[in-house]
Structure 1
C-alpha cells in the first residue's frame, strides 16, 4: 500500500507532480536554501577559473579549497538537521552527528543520488585529452554504513588544518558541493533551485525521472533514485489538490525508529586522527 500523505522535507516518487514541496507547511525555508546553495556554487565556479576541471587536478589543495570545503559541509549538516528536526528526530548524542545523518538513507535513498559535472577533462592511456563528464554519488557510502570520504576530510582539516590540509582538495570540494544539491533536490525536487519564487522549475537528468529534465543554471546535473529503487509501499500516492485542503496534509517520518549500526573500524580511525591532531596542536603550542 502506497503512502497517502507526504513526509516533511522528503521527496519520493508520486502519481502526480511534486508541487506539494512549495507549500510552506512542508518547509518554510526552501528559497533560502536555494540562495545558500547558489552562493556556495558561485565560489566553486570562481575556483574553476584557476583550477581546470580536469582529473589531473583532483588532488590539488589550497586555503581557498579549505574554506569552500568548510562552507559546503556546514551547509550539508544544516540540511540534514532540518530534515531530521522537521520529522521529530532526536539526536543520538548531545548534538546531531553523521550517525544521525545516515538515517536519511532510509527516508530518502541518498546513496542512489548521482551528480554529474558535464564539463570535464580527462587523459586517456595514450596521453590524449578526452572531454566528458565527471560522475559521482556523494552519499554512496551511506549505502554501506560509512561516512562519505569528503565529510571525513572536512572533519580532519577542521581539527588539524596544518597537518591535513591536503584533504581540502579539489575532489572533496566538488563532491561536497554536489552533496548539497543532492540534499535540496531530495527535499524539493524540481523546485529546489528557485531562489526568488519565480516559477523557474528545475528538473532531473533521468529518463525515469520524478518530474522532468534538469535545466537550471547550475553547474551540475542530478539523477535521483529510479522509481524501481523504491518499494511500492514506500512511494507516494495522493491527490494534492484535494489533500492540501484537508487539515494538515503532511506527516512525520519516524527517524527515531531507524537503527543505524556504528561502524567500529571507522570510529576507531576517526578517534585516532583526532587524538593525533590534538597531540600535534599541543606540541606546537608548547614548542
Structure 2
C-alpha cells in the first residue's frame, strides 16, 4: 500500500495518477513541510559558488583527482559539516529518540554517520547519481552514497574525519576527488528533501525546459541529477495534493527509531 501523506523533508516518487505531476512537487513549498528550508539552500549555494571558484584553478578532470590543498581541505570541511546539518534536520523534524547503552536518551551532538545512514532507508540516497556538467575524462558521474547499498563505509566521509582530526598526517586525504564526492552528496541530500525547489521569489512551475544535457539540473542549476528509479509501489506517495492541502494535518513523521 502506498503512502497517502508526505513525510517531513522527504521527496519520493509518486504513483501515477491524474494529478501526480502537480502533487509530486507542490507539497514541498507548503510552509509546514520543513522548517526554514532557505537556511539550508543558502548554505548550499554559497558552497557551490566556492567550489566553482576552485574550478578556476583546478580543472574538473580525471587527472586531478588526487590534487590537494588548503583551499580544498577547507571546502571539504565546510561541505561535510553542511551534510551533517541536513541529516540532523531530517531526523529532528521526524521521530528520532536514540538511546545510549544504558537506556538514556542520546544528545543530538552525539549523533554520527551510523545515525545518519538511517535516512537512506527513506530517501534512497544510495540510488541517486550526480553528474558534473563540465569534465575532462570519463569519471564525471558520482554516486557518493553507493557504498551504503552493500553496508560499506563512505570513503569520502572517512577522509573528511581523518583530515579533520589530524590534518598534518592526513592532509592528502582532503583530495579533489573527496571534495567532489562530498559536494555531490550534499546536492543529493538537498535534492532528496526539496527536489529542484530553491524557494526563490518566483513562482514554482514544476516543469522542465529543453536542455543540452540529458539529465536535469538540480538546485543551484549546476550539477545534473539522476533520480532514483527503484522505489517500490509501497514506498511511493499516492496523494492528490489539490485535496490534501485543504486538510489541517497534511504531513506525517517517519519513525527512524524503527529503522
Normalised by the length of structure 2, the TM-score is 0.86
CA-to-partner distance for each residue in 1:83-127, whole Å, 9 max, x for gaps? 1111121246542110011111111111001010021112xxxxx
Does the aligned pair in 2 maintain the 1:115–1:222 contact within 8 Å?
yes
- Check if 1:151 corresponds to 2:143: no
Q: Which runs of no fewer than 5 residues in structure 2 stay unpaired?
A: 15-19, 101-105, 210-214
Root-mean-square deviation over aligned CA pairs: 2.1
Question: 2:96 is matched with which residue?
Answer: 89
- Check if 1:220 corresponds to 2:235: no
Question: Which structure has the higher relative contact order (CA within 8 Å, separation 6+)?
Answer: 2
Q: Which runs of no fewer than 5 residues in structure 1 stay unpaired?
A: 123-131, 206-211, 259-287
Q: How far off is 1:218 after superposition?
A: 3.2
Question: 2:212 is matched with which residue?
Answer: none
Computing the radius of gyration from Cα coordinates, the structure with the larger value is 1
- Check if 1:42 corresponds to 2:49: yes
Q: How far off is 1:190 after superposition?
A: 2.2
CA distance in 2, matches of 1:59, 1:80: 28
Moved over 2 A (4+): 90-94, 196-205, 212-219
CA distance in 1, matches of 2:168, 2:208: 39
Q: How far off is 1:217 after superposition?
A: 4.7
- Check if 1:199 corresponds to 2:206: no
Question: 1:270 is matched with which residue?
Answer: none
CA-to-partner distance for each residue in 1:43-78, whole Å, 9 max, x for gaps? 110011111111111000111111000000000000
Question: 1:251 is matched with which residue?
Answer: 252
Normalised by the length of structure 1, the TM-score is 0.78
Flag the 1:239–1:136 CA change in 2: closer, same or farther, 3 A. same
How many residue pairs match? The answer is: 239
Does the aligned pair in 2 maintain the 1:72–1:177 contact within 8 Å?
yes
CA distance in 2, matches of 1:185, 1:73: 16
